[in-house]
Every structure is written in C-alpha cells, then in structure tokens.
Amino acid sequence: MYAIVEIAGQQFKVEKDQQIFVHRLEEKEGAKVEFDNVLLIDNNGKVNVGAPAIRGAKVTAKVLDHVKGDKVVVFKKKRRKGYRVKNGHRQAFTQIEIQNIVEKGATAKKATATTANKEPKVEPKAAVKKVAAKKATTKKAAPKAKTAIAKPKAAAKKTTTKKTAAKKTAAKKTDK
C-alpha cells in the first residue's frame, strides 16, 4: 500500500515505515504529524484518486530529526571583467518516518454519529427555503431593471434615425 501525499508544497510517494526528507517542518523532534492532503492511495491494486484530495484520508508520520542538506556551491563569473562571486547554500530538511496510511478517516464516522444525536433537521430546511426565496426575488427583479434600461436606448436610436432621415430630405430639397 502506498499513497501520494502533499507535504510542505511537494508531492511524495510514501509507504508505511519509510523514512523521507521533506522541507523543514515546524514540529519538534519526536512529535507526530498528520497530513490530510492525500492525492492518491493504492491499496494492493485498488487505486483511489482524489479530486484534488481524498476526503477523510490521512497519513501520519513521526518527526525523527532536523538536518541540513549537502552544500551547494553557487559560483558566478564574467570572463575578462574581474567579476567572481562564490556563494553556498545548505537547505534545511526534516527527516520523518511514515507510520500509518488511513484511507477513510475516523473523523468522518464521528461526525455522522454526532449529527444523529442532535435535533431534527427541520430548522435548516426552513433556512434553505428562506434563502431560496430571497434568491428568487432578486432574480425576478433583475430582468425588470434590464428591460427598463433597454427601452430608453432603443427609443434614443429611433429618434436619431428620424433626425438623420429628416436632414437628408432637407438636403435634397435645397440641392434642387
């Protein structure tokens, strides 16, 4: 079983008991971390793909150590100009060990159990009807405003065409 999970802005293919290096996490050493942004889970050939993430799926890991990566030397030079700059960089990483991959989280089951104990859902439906009624009234009012605006424009176009036609006839009479 493996999963593709997004950790600190990067996607990793992880399996149980695997140790990986990720960009520096703010957790202390020995702390447990949960990653909810699981993009894909392959459970012995049964593939579950999220859109974009799988609901309820999570990957739990343990922070083992905070380390620095290998030194990268950045050397810049422009020939015949006397320009040389040498810089180095060491990326900060966190070493984590994947402990568990859960396809369907326990939080979803708890949420359904708590909603069963609450009051009946009569009030939310009434609220939905009120919202739907408000939307319906706003939709009905909008077309009336559009037609009221459209009439003066059309009337203005008709008057301009009448004026231009009158000018043309007047010009023909004066030419004769």
48 in Cβ contact with 40 (< 8 Å): yes
Q: What is the pLDDT of residue 82?
A: 97
Its sign, for the CA torsion 46, 52, 57, 58, is: positive
Total domain count for the chain? 1
Indicate whether 100 belongs to any domain.
yes
User: Which residue has better confidence, 70 or 166?
Assistant: 70
Residue 101 has pLDDT above 80, yes or no: yes
Indicate whether 105 belongs to any domain.
yes
Indicate whether 66 belongs to any domain.
yes
Indicate whether 37 belongs to any domain.
yes
Token pair 């359904």 is at which residue? 112
pLDDT band at 113 (very low <50, low <70, confident <90, very high): very low
Q: In angstroms, what CA-CA distances link 38 with 56, 58, 101, 124, 129?
A: 9, 6, 9, 32, 36
Q: pLDDT by residue (tens digit) across 140-155?
A: 555 554 444 555 555 5
Residue 109 has pLDDT above 60, yes or no: no
Q: At 88, list the tokens.
A: 């180095």
Q: How many CB atoms lie within 10 A of CB 15?
A: 12
Indicate whether 143 belongs to any domain.
no
For the segment 76-94, the average pLDDT, to the nearest whole number, is 97
Q: pLDDT by residue (tens digit) across 3-43?
A: 999 999 999 999 999 999 999 999 999 999 999 999 999 99
User: Which residue has better confidence, 169 or 54?
Assistant: 54
- Where in the sequence is the domain holding 35, given as residue range(s)? 2-116
C-alpha span between 175 and 59 (Å, rounded): 91
Indicate whether 159 belongs to any domain.
no
C-alpha span between 74 and 84 (Å, rounded): 11
Indicate whether 70 belongs to any domain.
yes
Indicate whether 67 belongs to any domain.
yes
Q: What is the pLDDT of residue 116?
A: 47
